[in-house]
Amino acid sequence: MSSYLQVAEDEGEEPIELPSEDDGTLLLSTLAAQFPGTCGLKYRNPETKTMRGVRLVEGKLHAPDEGWDKHVYYCVFPKENKRKLDDHLENSTAKTKRMETKAKCSDLIILGLPWKTTEQQLREYFESFGEVLMAQVKKDPKTGQSKGFGFIRFANHDAQVRVMSQRHLIDGRWCDVKVPNSKEGQVHQVPCKVFVGRCTEDISADDLREYFSKFGEVTDVFIPKPFRAFAFVTFLDPEVAQTLCGEDHIIKQVSVHVSEASPKNDSSHRGGGGFGHMIRGGGGGGRGHDQKGFGGYQATGPGGNGMYQGGGGGGGGGVVGEEGLGGRGGNRGSLDMPNLQALGITGQGGGGGGGGGQNLTNPLGMGLNLGALPMNPALVAAALNQAGWGLIGNLQGGGGGGAGGGGGAPDGGGPAGGQAQGGQGGAPPPQPGFLNWMSQVGGGGAAGGGGGGPNPAQAQHQQAWQQRDKQQNFKYEKYD
DNA sequence: GTTGAGCGTT
């Protein structure tokens, strides 16, 4: 039996009533539909006068022991620095607005739908996020049986972003919403997921989550079953993922190797075109005390779009904070690549220089004469940023990052840096070296798009379907 | 034993 609880954006604001679910929980999605951007709830404990957080597990907010109706609840938003970023983007200059309006909605695929979910239900579920232009459940034309996935399109890009940034509990199953493969290359995305090789069987998903949480919030852990000696770990912050790539880590006395997760549906596996040109810059400074700074770059990536993603600004020296990571839950978004363009940061330089850390030094020991460089200053800004030079101010009215980052946050700084559009590149991944890269960007013909592969046999589909629910249980039961 | 499950009759 569903009942209503009172939620206000903040103390002093007028509460509205939100429906809880049959099991007494409040869905984070229900909350976010009324208070976009909310990541949790709190209430004032009358005894201690302090705020208490509401338990959040797998997108469900759980009532305090005394029940929902004893308190008025207040929304919790992401950390201050992130909030400011959002606000900044929303009010924003004409330029940013232009970028926002440029960001178009795309069809989104919803994977993992329950067989019974209808288009109507799908639409109703997603309407809480924004106007839905299209909702489809793909069905077998003969039997009418759902194929377990569907498509959705929003009118509003913000709604699309919100929907893609979390998992969705639809009719009791957790579903992923992604940009479909058919659109890959048209949407800029950033990998948040790393591959963890040389795992042993006694390293559990929880072990991985616990271990890697010290580097940043872990949003997903995937261990294929049966055991195959590897795993995937997804971070909220792509910069964290990038920083870890190439490293060996010891977990339960086992040396595991972290590397880039190659896209599941990589076009190269299907005879499609080649790789685009994507470079990722890491943040300047290290995050934790035991973290390396990140001055180099990785240079592989899914095909299609040449892009450069500026790293975060110079690193704050802070140790990865225990607070801020502590709360389990939140949206365990499963996105491999949260879409930063979608978040409105495309075209900006990297994030502001983080405060709090040691000063960045110019690794080449030379002055900067940006005007002398024969290329798009935005790219230069991105490149410099990538090289660890942190914020370069407003370049050509375009590239420069936003305001200097708030330093000293417990987790060592703001979210991942922005990205700057690079040349469309069919060029091969550049050889290591910053200058080398600079000489290569901007070249290149069209990248090969993803080729279509043969459809799996119907029998395989059937088998996959039968295993599906079991798999999901395996995947999620650990986090209850 | 180092790369995950699923991707659109228009």
Please give the share of chain A, as a percent, with pLDDT higher than 70.
48
A309 CA – B6 C1', rounded, Å: 29
> Which residues contact residue A2 at a Cβ distance below 8 angstroms, ignoring those fewer than 6 apart?
A19, A20, A21, A22
pLDDT in tens, A235-293: 878 889 999 999 999 999 999 999 998 876 544 443 333 333 333 333 333 333 333 32
Biggest alpha carbon–alpha carbon distance for chain A: 69
Range with the poorest average pLDDT among A6-10, A226-230, A338-342, A377-381: A377-381
3-state secondary structure of A458: helix
Interstrand relation of A146-154 and A132-139 (parallel, antiparallel or unpaired): antiparallel
Per-residue tokens: A468: 């599906």
Which residues from the 93-112 window of protein chain A have CB within 7 angstroms of nucleic acid chain B? 107, 109, 111-112
- Please tell me whether the overall predicted TM-score, pTM, comes out greater than 0.75 for this model: no
Q: Positive or negative CA dihedral for A262, A266, A269, A273?
A: negative
A226 CA – B2 C1', rounded, Å: 15
Using the predicted structure, report yes or no on whether residue A213 has a pLDDT greater than 80: yes
A394 or A227, higher pLDDT = A227
Contact present, A307 and A192 (Cβ < 8 Å): no
| Torsion angle defined by CA atoms of residues A435, A437, A440 and A444, in that order, rounded to the nearest 10 degrees | -170
Helix (H) or strand (E) holding A134: strand A132-139
Taking alpha carbons only, the member of A285, A293, A295 closest to residue A356 is A285
pLDDT in tens, A59-104: 889 999 999 999 999 998 876 544 444 444 444 443 344 444 457 8
Nucleotides of B under 7 A from a protein CB: 1-9
3-state secondary structure of A232: strand
A322 CA – B10 C1', rounded, Å: 52
Q: Give the full edge-to-edge strand order of the sheet including A230-235.
A: A218-222, A230-235, A193-197, A254-260, A248-251
The reply to whether A227 has its C-beta less than 7 Å from any atom of strand B is: yes
Tell me the one-letter amino acid at A136. Q
The confidence score (pLDDT) of residue A399 equals 29
Residues paired with residue A7 on neighbouring β-strands, in sequence order: A16, A73
